[in-house]
Copies of this chain bind each other. A is one copy, B any other.
Amino acid sequence: MQDRLRAWEDDFVPSFWSAKNAMLQAAGVAFERHGVREGQQFVLMCLWREDGLSPGEIARRLSLATPTVTRTVTRMETSGLVERHPHPTDARLVSVRLTERGQGLRAALDAEMNALSERALRGFGEEERRAFTRMLDALTANLRAER
């Protein structure tokens, strides 16, 4: 679509949208062979850093809606990546814990993630990569700020 939709003065939105879809597809392919769906790796990432978090806390850390995490956790439970446990003191909370399989995937997914970055950013210089990431973070901050 890149060349065909330059109707706006600022063609940033279509470019971002194309990039988003390309990344989604590439990530899907990259993770499917590990039995992990695109998006689930970020939940795993949270739990690698701190196991036993609640769905709500995961949602907060990932800036997602809680129901999104709830359902994702259910699917990850089905595929044996995590388990739900009751919280010891607060009966409202649910503790999401990694299974052995969930823990064991860390290195593989780490490598997959780096490979994905490398493919996406091929031809980008060091400084350019940093600038790109910085701009993405600025964009996120801009959009999350005024709401």
Residues of A within 8 A of B (CB): 1-2, 4-5, 7-27, 42, 45-46, 48-49, 61-64, 110, 113-114, 116-124, 128-129, 131-133, 135-144, 146
Contact = CB atoms under 8 A, between A and B. Distances in A.
Of A15, A114, A139, most buried by chain B (CB within 10 Å of CB) is A139
A124 to B, nearest CB: 7
Contact of A143 (B15, B120, B131, B135): B120
A5 B136 contact: no
A120 B17 CA distance: 13
15 contacts: A2-B141, A10-B118, A11-B133, A12-B136, A13-B27, A14-B45, A15-B133, A18-B63, A18-B140, A19-B137, A20-B24, A26-B143, A121-B142, A131-B131, A132-B135
Of A5, A136, A144, most buried by chain B (CB within 10 Å of CB) is A136
A64 B21 contact: yes
A1 B13 CA distance: 23
Of A20, A26, A110, most buried by chain B (CB within 10 Å of CB) is A20
B46 A5 contact: yes
